[in-house]
Structure 1
Amino acid sequence: MGGRLEHLSGKGLDVLIVGGGVIGSSIAYHLLKDGLDGTVGILERDPTYEFATTPRSAGGVRQQFSAEINIRIALFSLERFEQFDQEMEVDGEPAHAEFRQRGYLFLADERNWEALRRQHKIQRALGACVELLEPSEVLEIVPDLKPEGLLGASWGPKAGYTDPYGVLQGYLRKARSLGARFIQAEAMELLRRGSRIVGVKSKEGQVLEAGCVVLAAGAWSGDLAATAGLEIPVEPHPRMAYCFDPARKFDYDLPLVIDPEDLYFRHETGKQILTGKSRQERPGYRFEWDRDFFMTEIWPALYRWVPAFECLKLLRGWAGLYEMCTWDRNGLLGKYPGLEGFFLATGFSGHGLQQAPAVGQGLSELIRTGGYQSLDLSPLNVSRIFTGERILEEGVV
């Protein structure tokens, strides 16, 4: 946790961040780094992060999105990830995000080639480092790929993947070194007085109040908001991941590869392979992984693309939660309309880790100064769920 946890007390804070995942910890770090004159607390129920979303993610960092706001966020965040370990240094000890810029490779067949070509024009116009590849060029990157049916690919050479737990710990440790308080308790209720959210009540019935409350509770945000009579369209959607050992080890490093049906795979520690695929799931807080799904759906798809994966040993699996924004599958940010002192940073629908640097910087500016300065994040404002606006993002995996 980057330091000892404090237990909930009745002492007031200037800013209380509900949720100690990568988004909440990034906001805390940026507030203090940017010179907030006040106290910042992060409320986290589980110091082990056993079932938290961040450590269970695939850790991808990319620029290949279709919506302008997400591309701009990706450009900003990529630069920060490139310097992350040094930026989060404490007492001469760097962080250990282990950002590996091995690239992102979106494979294309007749189903998605035109969409990738259309997205590429937008990405390049905004300055993203993304290329369209011919099948022969794809095979230069992944020689073991079977080219049958392949029309090309979208290639992000500066993209890659991190150690999600290392990113989380980097933010937490740095925030604590700057004076953030880490408070171990489970928030059960948002406290509302008239037109203001004033704090939270814990599972044990204790109260913590603050001048400003930021809801960054990930998949739990929707249920927590409901305790104050607020409806935000965020649900917990289970996602599974698997790690296997291929019979034949590749003598090159895999990028993060995604096929037209959202199957992904990449190298993990020791030449093992991390893989997963989205499937329709009913919402819920479920953390059981399904071995049969790997055997019947993922494995056959893997060796269709990479025949060498026909022989493998499944090592382990796990399930985590997407904080799915059911409105439009994009993050909900900013001041909640009609309420004083209440901000949202939730609903990132699988993109929270890679958007955390930009979101942390933006929320810091919004809370301290009343507006965005480094990057305009207003397209993600939560007010859009009341005005009927939606952001179309085709790149949700």
Structure 2
Amino acid sequence: MDSTADVIIMGGGIIGASIAYHLRRDDPGVGRVVVIEQDWTYARAAAPMSMGGIRQQYSAACNVALARYSLPFYEQFDRLMAGAWGVPQAHFHQRGYLVLMHAENQDRLRQKYEVQRSLGVEIELLSPEAIRDFLPHLNVDDIVGGLYGPRDGYLNPRGALQGFVEQSRELGCVWLQDEVLDFQPGDAQATVRTRHHGTLTTPHLVIAAGAWTQRLAALADIDLPVQPVRRQGCYVTLPVQVGYKFPMTLDRTRDMSFRHDTETDNHLLMSRTVRDEPPGFNFDWDISAFEREIRPMMRHYLPDCGDIQLQRGWAGHYGVTPDENPILGQHPAHACLYMAVGFSGHGVMLAPASGHIISELVRNGHTSTLDAHPYRLERFATGDLIDDPQI
């Protein structure tokens, strides 16, 4: 096997796969692109276990720009990623994205609404009465309104991951099922030592390792402030068919989100971040938390729909930075090392834009479509953080 590559991407989740795809799509002559991913089943990857929400509702201009690049990409995703390999099943449903507003967070959400409008986001400020008309089964007694993005929605995240992976292969990217044992980013060349394919060299090395970023970076004595934070998801049946599909519904005061399944009429997906434990890997799904927290919440949200019936549950992890926003760009001390990590639960949403940013940086040394400067690693040392918390 050839031991050299023009670009090596460590991590083949949705971010790494998007980078690979964009490198070959943006410039078919980019050279040899190699993706190293240890687990091709993606059993513990973040994207397949995510809610697959797609929205423009951010309050930082840089995040809005990435979201507005990614949204139309997903609107065409199944067509764009179709090829000789097949057609992805991402199935982006633009059923909207509703953020519930309570008395304690209404000032901040109203400020977000004004910022989003000024940035061109398609956003509506709904009263409780308007929400009741829109979603008659949703209890609005304790909310004061909501922000609603009518063009937003949700997709099948495993289908989105599959599309990026398979289309990048079809465009000529090389995928290796392997483990990175260590790597060294030099001034002009980086080396990557793998368990099964020996040592590889490249002038452009990308870290796209999700919640495993800190563990991977430590192999080269590099500190990247990305910590794994557990989140729990579940798939439930509604005893009552409501006759319409719920949008992605987010309640930040309760760290809770839920939506309809992409394929069925009476199944919901739900997710809740586990905040009362230290960062770290824990893939145990806590059914007691479902009975103690999630089931009572759903009785509150949907009091006329009967008691939800649990089908299955799972636990996954966000890769979270100190300001809950991603790191995108070149490492300040290693010119050949690029980072696309720390998406804090929004990797699926921002994967198209992030892939394009890294593609431009690798190929051109700068970005021209989207501004990567706010996402630089150095912001954590200078205190120039992005004020747009995500979880």
TM range (shorter): over 0.9
Q: Which structure 2 residues correspond to residues 338-357 of structure 1 after superposition, within 5 A?
A: 338-357=333-352
- 2:297 alignment partner in structure 1: 301
Superposition deviation, residue 192 in structure 1: 3.9
Q: Does structure 1 conserve the Cα–Cα contact (< 8 Å) formed by 2:185 and 2:336?
A: no
Deviation (angstroms), 1:227:
1.6
Residues 51, 92 of structure 1: alpha-carbon distance in 2 compared, 3 angstrom cutoff: closer
In the other structure, the counterpart of 1:97 is 90
* Deviation string, structure 1 residues 162-216 (Cα, Å, up to 9, x no partner): 11111011011111111000001011312244x4561322245832221210000
For the pair 1:143 / 2:139, whether they are aligned, the reply is no
Contact 1:16 1:199 in 2 (8 A): no
For the Cα contact (< 8 Å) 2:178–2:197, is it kept in 1? Answer: no
- CA distance in 1 between counterparts of 2:42 and 2:59 reads 32
Residue in structure 2 matched with residue 84 of structure 1 by the alignment: 77
Q: Which residue of 2 aligns with 1:320?
A: 316
- Counterpart secondary structure, 1:128: coil
User: For the residues of structure 2 that align with 1:315 and 1:197, how far apart are their CA atoms?
Assistant: 50
Structure 1 residue matching 2:304: 3-state secondary structure: helix
* Contact 1:18-1:42 at 8 Å conserved across structures: yes
Are residue 117 (structure 1) and residue 113 (structure 2) matched?
no
1:70 counterpart letter in structure 2: N
Asked whether the equivalents of residues 230 and 273 of structure 2 are also in contact (C-alpha less than 8 Å), the reply is no
SS at match of 2:72: helix
Where does residue 331 of structure 1 map in the other structure? 326
Q: Is the 8 A contact 2:360 2:368 kept in 1?
A: yes
2:230/2:274 contact within 8 Å kept:
no
User: 2:238 is matched with which residue?
Assistant: 246
- Give 5+ residue unaligned stretches, structure 1: 1-8
Q: Distance in 1 between matches of 2:358 and 2:388?
A: 22
Shift of 1:218: 0.7
Q: Indicate the SS of the match to 1:307.
A: coil
Tell me if structure 2 keeps the 8 A contact 1:331–1:380.
yes
Partner AA of 1:126 in structure 2: L
> Given the two structures, how large is their TM-score scaled by the length of structure 2?
0.95
Q: Distance in 1 between matches of 2:360 and 2:197?
A: 33
Q: Which moved more, 1:53-62 or 1:30-39?
A: 30-39
Do residues 221 (structure 1) and 217 (structure 2) align?
no
Q: Which amino acid aligns with 1:389?
A: D
Asked if the contact 1:190–1:197 (Cα under 8 Å) also holds between the matched residues in 2, the reply is: no
Q: Is the 8 A contact 1:10 1:206 kept in 2?
A: no
Matches within 5 A, 1:37-116: 37-91=30-84, 93-116=86-109
Residue 364 of structure 1 aligns to which amino acid in structure 2?
S
| Paired amino acid for 2:304 | A
Structure 1 residue 285: deviation in Å? Answer: 2.1
Work out whether residues 17 and 213 of structure 1, in 8 Å CA contact, stay in contact via their aligned partners in 2: yes
1:4 maps to what in 2?
none
Note if contact 1:197-1:339 (Cα within 8 Å) is conserved in structure 2.
no
> What letter corresponds to residue 381 of structure 1 in structure 2?
R
Which amino acid in 2 is paired with 1:100? H
- 1:230 maps to 2:222: yes
Aligned pairs, how many?
Answer: 386
Query: Do structure 1's residue 289 and structure 2's residue 285 form an aligned pair?
Result: yes
Amino acid at match of 2:355: G
1:48 partner amino acid: T
User: Matched residues in 2 for 1:309 and 1:223: separation?
Assistant: 44
**Do residues 389 (structure 1) and 384 (structure 2) align?**
yes
Match of 2:162 in 1: 169
Q: How far is 1:385 from its partner?
A: 2.5
Retained in 2: the 8 A contact 1:62–1:354? yes
- How far apart in 2 are the matches of 1:309 and 1:199? 57
Residue 370 of structure 2: which of 375, 389, 393 is its match? 375
Q: Is the 8 A contact 1:188 1:201 kept in 2?
A: yes
CA distance in 1, matches of 2:207, 2:115: 32
The question of 1:272 aligning with 2:253 is answered no
- Residue identity in the other structure for 1:50: A
Please state how far the C-alpha of 1:28 moved relative to its aligned partner.
0.5
Deviations 1:12-49 (A, max 9, x none): 10100000001001011111111143100000001111
Percent of paired sites with the same residue: 38
Moved over 4 A (4+): none
1:311 aligned to 2:302? Answer: no
Three-state SS of the structure 2 residue aligned to 1:341 is: strand
In structure 2, what is the Cα distance between the partners aligned to 1:377 and 1:366?
Answer: 9
Task: Show the counterpart of 2:248.
Answer: 256
**Alpha-carbon shift at residue 310 of structure 1 (Å):** 4.5
Q: Whole-Å Cα distance in 1 between the matches of residues 315 and 347 of structure 2?
A: 16
Unaligned runs of 5+ in 2: none
In the alignment, the residues of structure 2 paired with residue 141 and residue 44 of structure 1 have an alpha-carbon distance, to the nearest angstrom, of 43
- The match for 1:5 is none
- Secondary structure of 1:81 counterpart: helix
Aligned to 1:360: 355
Are residues 86 and 252 of structure 1, via their aligned partners in 2, closer, same or farther at CA, if it must alter by over 3 Å?
same
Contact 1:197 1:342 in 2 (8 A): no
* 3-state secondary structure, aligned to 1:74: helix
